Amino acid sequence: MSDERTAPGADADWAALARVAAGDGDAFTALVERHQDRLIALCQRFLGDRDEALDAAQEVFLKLYRHAGRTRPQGQLFTWIYRVAVNHCLNRLRRRRLVRFLSLAGGADEAPPALEPASEAPDAPTQLAARERWQATRRILDALPENQRAVVILAKFEGLSQKQIAATLGISEGAVESRLVRAMRRLTAAQEAAAPRVATGRARG
């Protein structure tokens, strides 16, 4: 995601959204096609589950459709989509935690969703080692408070700058920096605790 000033597709997106508001179904399909891969990837990184990510992405696009006539052009459209998606995914995670709590089926130690590789790994040991690393990362991310997890995912996996994260989450750049520092402190502690598991996985790989 580039900055507003350097975003060549920003105006085109807003123009497309204006057509959607006027009832142009093809414009909506084109908008979805343009952003679907990034949005699904974002949801998958938050939720850790492909099917749930597809469901969440669809909901976010439908929200965009419903608000097409009321959304004011400001910055990049995808920043707005990111913001809605992050909030939507965090709400889903809250619901998921609530269901776990109510059903008493698990807790903080519950295994995260199975992480399947998107493409064929070259060989089984490599694949296994990769899965171990993904599981370890998922455990670490799940242990972070929501607001810190959001900035880590946006910075590390979406490659957003602090300024872009601030715009996406509607907070100041100082708040982004502060959350990242606190997240790094937690990550350091969590990584030390998870290190033996990762090391075991590597030894087997």
Partner 1 sequence: MRDDERAQVRRLTDGGEPPAAGAAESAPARIWRQLELPPAAGAPPGFAARVAARAAAERRAAFELPLSPRWARAAAALAVAAGVVVGASLGLLTAVDEEAAAALAWSEASLAEELVAGLDAGLSSLAAPAAADEVTP
Applying CB under 8 A, which residues contact partner 1? 23, 25, 28-29, 32-33, 36-37, 40-41, 44-45, 50, 53-54, 57-58, 61-62, 65-66, 115-119, 130, 133-134, 137-138, 140-141, 152, 155-157, 161-162, 177-178, 180-181, 184-185, 187-188, 191, 198
Which residue's CB is nearer to partner 1, number 99 or number 195? 195
The set of residues, in sequence order, having a beta carbon less than 8 Å from that of 183 and lying 6+ positions away, is 144, 148, 149, 151, 152
- Reading the block at residue 182, the tokens are 């606190």
State in angstroms the smallest separation of the CB of 102 from partner 1: 28
State in angstroms the smallest separation of the CB of 22 from partner 1: 12
Angstrom distance (rounded) from CA 44 to CA 51: 9
CA 105 vs. chain centroid, Å, equals 25
Burial of 60 (0-12, 13-18, 19+ CB in 10 A): buried
Compute the chain's Rg from CA coordinates: 19
The set of residues, in sequence order, having a beta carbon less than 8 Å from that of 148 and lying 6+ positions away, is 179, 180, 182, 183, 186
State in angstroms the smallest separation of the CB of 100 from partner 1: 21
Which residue's CB is nearer to partner 1, number 98 or number 114? 114
Which residue's CB is nearer to partner 1, number 10 or number 180? 180
State in angstroms the smallest separation of the CB of 17 from partner 1: 13
Find the helix or strand (DSSP H, E) in which 156 lies. none
Read off the DSSP letter of residue 113.
Answer: P
Which residue's CB is nearer to partner 1, number 101 or number 160? 160
Angstrom distance (rounded) from CA 58 to CA 160: 23
State in angstroms the smallest separation of the CB of 6 from partner 1: 15
State in angstroms the smallest separation of the CB of 20 from partner 1: 9
Which residue's CB is nearer to partner 1, number 69 or number 170? 69
Which residue's CB is nearer to partner 1, number 66 or number 95? 66
